[in-house]
Amino acid sequence: MATPVTVHGPPLSTAVSRVLACLIEKDVPFQLIPVNMAKGEHKSPDFLKIQPFGQVPAFQDEATSLFESRAICRYICEKYPEKGNKGLYGTNPLAKASIDQWVEAEGQSFNPPSSVLVFQLAFAPRMKLKQDQSLISQNETKLEKLLGVYEKRLGESRFLAGDDFSLADLSHLPNAHYLVNAAEREELFTSKKNVERWWGEISSRDSWKKVVDMQKQST
């Protein structure tokens, strides 16, 4: 019997939830092994063997051991092309390139300011850490400007990479979810007509709802 796919990390982590959403979209069964970051489990020698940077998630599929959520997502799509959502990573090279372009845009342009905001607004208060107002304001401005580019794109195209939901949209779900639901920044998404429409569609996908359930159950 093949070793099932295993994900190591807390479902509340944005990067972990990115991988979970992909596995559920692709209908790939998996086992989730919790990692207690408050207790520093992600820095334990055993964990560092599977993720030397001490970050979550870590991932295993039979003999393959991987990390970096967006790499794991691409691997899942390439390893299991016939399962679940077959178009998640495109079914032809041009579709795939467009998806890669927007996954990169998410990773390079959306993720940095949204991660800072999520940490400052949603996590810092819960961890009793002092918020940095100037960092909040700088990153709000960056994100606002960025979403202006998205607004134009989403006026031309139903989803970021084209007419179908893809890894590019999925990749945005974790941080956007926290901005809307835990950081009181729903307005970033609702103040722009096309972005609001897009957010409504992608956040109501069954796969994302299941991930949100997993997050709630883990608290």
Partner 1 sequence: MVVKVYGPVFASPKRVLVCLVEKEIEFEGVPLDLLKGEHKDPEFLKLQPFGTVPVTQDGDYVLYESRAILRYYAEKYKSQGTDLLGKTVEERGQVENWLEVEAHNFNPHVFNLTLHVMFSSKLGIPRDENVIKESEEKLGRVLDIYEERLSKSKYLAGDFFSLADLSHLPFTQYLVGPIGKEYMITSRKHVNAWWNDISSRPSWQKVLQLYPAPL
Binding piece for partner 1, criterion CB under 8 A, among 36-44, 103-111, 170-178, 187-195: 103-111
Q: Residue 62 or 201: which CB sits closer to partner 1?
A: 62
Q: Does 42 bind partner 1 (CB under 8 A)?
A: no
Q: Is 149 in the site for partner 1 (CB under 8 A)?
A: yes
Are 72 and 22 in contact by the 8 Å Cβ rule? The answer is: yes
Which one, 69 or 85, has the nearer CB to partner 1? Answer: 69
Minimum CB separation of residue 49 from partner 1 in Å reads 11
98 Cβ neighbours under 8 A, 6+ residues apart: 90, 161, 162, 168
Contacting residue, 8, 68, 117, 119, with partner 1 by CB under 8 A: 68
* Angle, helix 111-118 to helix 173-181, in steps of 10 degrees: 40
Cβ-based nearer residue to partner 1, 25 or 106: 106
Candidate ranges 2-10, 104-112, 182-190, 209-217; the one touching partner 1 (CB under 8 A): 104-112
- The only residue of 10, 14, 16, 100 in contact with partner 1, by rule CB under 8 A: 100
- Residues 166-195: x where in contact with partner 1 by CB under 8 A, - otherwise, as a string: ------------------------------
Q: What letter would DSSP give residue 203? A: H
Closer residue to partner 1, CB minimum distance, 2 or 217: 2
Polymer length of the chain: 219
Among 71, 131, 163, 200, binds partner 1 (CB under 8 A): 71
Write b or e for each residue in 91-101: b if 16 or more Cβ atoms lie within 10 A of its Cβ, otherwise e. Answer: eeeebbebbbe
Residue 65 · residue 117 · CB < 8 Å: no
Q: Which is nearer to partner 1, 110 or 199 (CB)?
A: 110
Radius of gyration of the chain (CA): 17
Angstrom distance (rounded) from CA 42 to CA 23 = 22
The full DSSP string for 104-120 is HHIIIIIHHHHHHHHII
